[in-house]
Structure 1
C-alpha cells in the first residue's frame, strides 16, 4: 500500500490507541466523579461515563443505546469508505487528515459502546458506556439579573466533559468548516481562446 494510503490511517490508529490507553487508565485508576487538577481550577481530569454521544448527549433507553451504536457502526464504515475514496481521488491533504481525525474519534467511541460493558462486566454487548475525562471550566460566573431566562443563574464555559475521541471529531469538523473553500474548490481549466488579432487571408 502506498504511503499516501497509510499515513491517514496511521494517524487514525495513533489517536484510537492513545484514546483507549487514556480511557483504560482513567477507568482503572479513578472512581466516578474523581477529579485531578491539570490547570488549577480551569482544567481537570474528571472521570465520568455516558450512555450516548459526544460530550454526554444521549438517546434514551436500551433501544436508544442499540440504535446509537448501530448508527455509529454504519457511520464509521461510511467514513472509512469516504476516506479511501478521498485518498484515491487525490483530494486536498488537509481534508483527508481531518476526515481521518473524525474516523478515529468515531471508532474510539464505538469501542467503548460495543465492548466496555463486556470487558468490565457491567452490561451486554453494544451496551457499554463511553468514558469521558477532560473538563475545562475556563469561565465561570453568575448571569446578571436582567438576562432573560438565565438571570441570576451560574454559567460555566466550557461545561461538557469529553474525551480524546470527541476532541478529534470536533477538531476535524471545525477545520473542514473553516477551510471548506480551500478543500472543495474546483480547478477551473481555461478554455483556449481564439486569437482575435490573427485574421486568415
Structure 2
C-alpha cells in the first residue's frame, strides 16, 4: 500500500501534465459557470451561495492580489498601461516557470518541488487565461449575465479581468475604540475572494515555504 501511494505521488512528465490540466479544467469550468450564469455580485448584497463561513460570490479582479493595481503603486502610470504591464509580466513569469519545471522533471529533483511548481504553474496559467482572453470571450457582467463570444467583448486582448468566487469569512468582530486607526470599525477575518487558480498557487507556495529545507537543503 505504501509503495502504491509513493508511486502515485511521484510525478513524472506525464503525471505532471495530467495534474496541470486537471487544475486548469476545474479552474476554467468553475469560472465560466459563474460567468455564464450570474451577474456580478453587488457589494453588501446576497451571495450566490451563503453557508456562513463559506460563500460563493462573483467578482472580477482587474489587478493583482486583493485587487491591487500597478497604477495604485506607481501613480504616474495609467490603469490601462499598468494592466498591460501586469499581463505581460505574468506571461514572462509563466514562461520562466514552465522552463524551470521542465528541467527539474528531467532530473532527480525533490518531488515536493515538482508538486509545488506544478500547482503554481497551473494556477498562473488559469489566471492568465482570464487576463488575456476573457475580455474578448465574454460581454460584461454588470447587472446582467455575460454572453459567450459576443460581437463585442467587454475589453480588448490582454485586458480581461480575473474571475473570483470563493470566500471563507471565518469571523467578524468590531475593533475596540482604543485601537488606533480602526477602532470601532467592523472587520471580517479572511474576507478575500479568490478562485481555484489562486488556491493552487497558494498550495504551491505553501509547500515551498513549509518544506524549503527538505526541498533546497
Equivalent of 2:13 in 5, 20, 43: 5
Partners in 2 of 1:72 and 1:181 — Cα distance? Answer: 27
Partners in 2 of 1:9 and 1:146 — Cα distance? Answer: 53
1:57-136 paired onto structure 2 within 5 Å: 57-60=68-71, 61-120=79-138, 121-136=153-168
Name the residue aligned to 1:15: 23
1:140–1:156 Cα contact (<8 Å) kept: yes
Deviations 1:81-116 (A, max 9, x none): 010111112111111011100001100000000000
TM-score (norm 2): 0.81
**Runs of 4+ with deviation above 3 angstroms:** none
TM-score (norm 1): 0.87
Structure 2 residue 176 is matched with structure 1 residue 164: no
Query: Secondary structure of the residue that 2:169 maps to in structure 1?
Result: coil
Q: What are structure 2's unaligned runs of at least 5 residues?
A: 1-10, 72-78, 139-152
The structure whose Rg is larger is 1
Query: Secondary structure of the residue that 1:29 maps to in structure 2?
Result: coil
Name the residue aligned to 1:54: 65
Q: What are structure 1's unaligned runs of at least 5 residues?
A: 186-201
Partners in 1 of 2:166 and 2:183 — Cα distance? Answer: 28
